């Protein structure tokens, strides 16, 4: 693709927007790339956009071109501390949809206070990669339905999103679970990229307040600590006070916040 849009006048120092591939755009200033835009569907079908630009004019021209060609609604995620980027998306007509607090979580049980924590009677922790896939998907569906019926799945971390058929278990090997003899009671998901990320901790509604979530965290953080990871990180929706209290109670430190914006 090589569709070009001349913006900010067509004379000297005009910013040219070029669509270089499907859902990819470049901003050119005298043939120099001064910005890039990208759009991508997430597994739940929502279309997320991103722009990396050298200066405000390039950002605005890219946003204008992308919004003209892409269907609404559109979403993006920004670090709330990045005031310049947030302002750019607001100029383009985006508004805040959700805020998530980011936490750094220690793994050392002497710091978390989880050293002596065990699952309640009749419950065992099944390590990541060893869970029965059918039972895992069953507890995932149950938890999702309970959350949706109360605070809504939108209150879950942005990365824990349902696929087009409502399934949030993309890679079963990432999950450890709390198991009773006949079913799973709770689950925890950890993804390792540059550092371990706790993407989800959830327990069936009728099994809450028994210490299952703490037992899942004790197992997972202990495993990470023994593997040499001093810290993990996680994100919590600002309305989820129970999750914030759970992590802050084991010494997690808030380090910032992310905004999901929508237009």
Across 23-38, average pLDDT = 92
**Would you state the pLDDT for residue 164?**
46
Domains of the chain, earliest start first: 3-98 (3.40.630.30), 101-258 (3.40.630.30)
The runs of H, that is alpha helices, within 104-251 are 109-112, 133-149, 212-226, 241-248
Instruction: Name the pLDDT band for 62 (thresholds 50, 70, 90).
Output: very high
Numbers of helices and strands, H then E, in the chain: 6, 13
Over the Cα atoms of the chain, what is R_g? 22
> How much is the mean pLDDT over the chain?
88
> Which stretches within 81-184 are classed as H helix?
83-91, 109-112, 133-149
Q: Provide the token pair at 263.
A: 């237009």
Rounded Cα distance, 84 and 86, in Å: 6
pLDDT for residue 8 = 45
Tokens of 189: 């998901």
- pLDDT tens readout for residues 109-155: 999 999 999 999 999 999 999 999 999 999 998 988 887 776 555 55
How far does the chain reach from its first CA to its final CA, in angstroms? 26
- Please count the residues of the chain: 263
Q: How confident is the model over 92-109, as pLDDT tens digits? A: 999 999 899 999 999 999
């Amino acid at each position: 693709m090589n569709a070009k849009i001349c913006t900010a006048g067509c004379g000297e120092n005009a910013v040219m927007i070029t669509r270089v591939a499907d859902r990819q755009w470049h901003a050119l200033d005298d043939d120099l790339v001064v910005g890039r835009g990208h759009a991508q569907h997430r597994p739940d079908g929502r279309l997320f956009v991103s722009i990396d630009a050298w200066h405000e004019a390039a950002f605005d021209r890219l946003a204008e071109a992308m919004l003209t060609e892409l269907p609404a609604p559109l979403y993006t995620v920004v670090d709330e501390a990045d005031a310049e980027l947030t302002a750019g998306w607001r100029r383009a007509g985006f508004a805040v949809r959700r805020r998530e607090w980011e936490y750094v979580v220690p793994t050392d049980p002497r710091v978390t206070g989880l050293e002596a924590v065990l699952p309640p009677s009749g419950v065992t922790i099944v390590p990541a990669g060893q869970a029965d896939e059918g039972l895992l998907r069953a507890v995932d569906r149950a938890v999702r339905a309970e959350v949706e019926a109360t605070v809504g799945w939108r209150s879950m971390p942005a990365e824990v999103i349902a696929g087009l058929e409502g399934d949030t278990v993309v890679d079963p090997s990432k999950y450890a679970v709390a198991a009773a003899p006949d079913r799973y009671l709770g689950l925890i998901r950890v993804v390792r990229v540059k550092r371990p990320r706790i993407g989800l901790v959830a327990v069936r509604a009728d099994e809450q307040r028994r210490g299952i979530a703490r037992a899942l965290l004790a197992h997972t953080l202990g495993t990470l600590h023994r593997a040499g990871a001093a810290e993990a990180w996680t994100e919590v929706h600002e309305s989820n006070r129970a999750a914030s209290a759970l992590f802050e109670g084991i010494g997690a430190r808030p380090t910032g916040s992310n905004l999901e914006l929508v237009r």
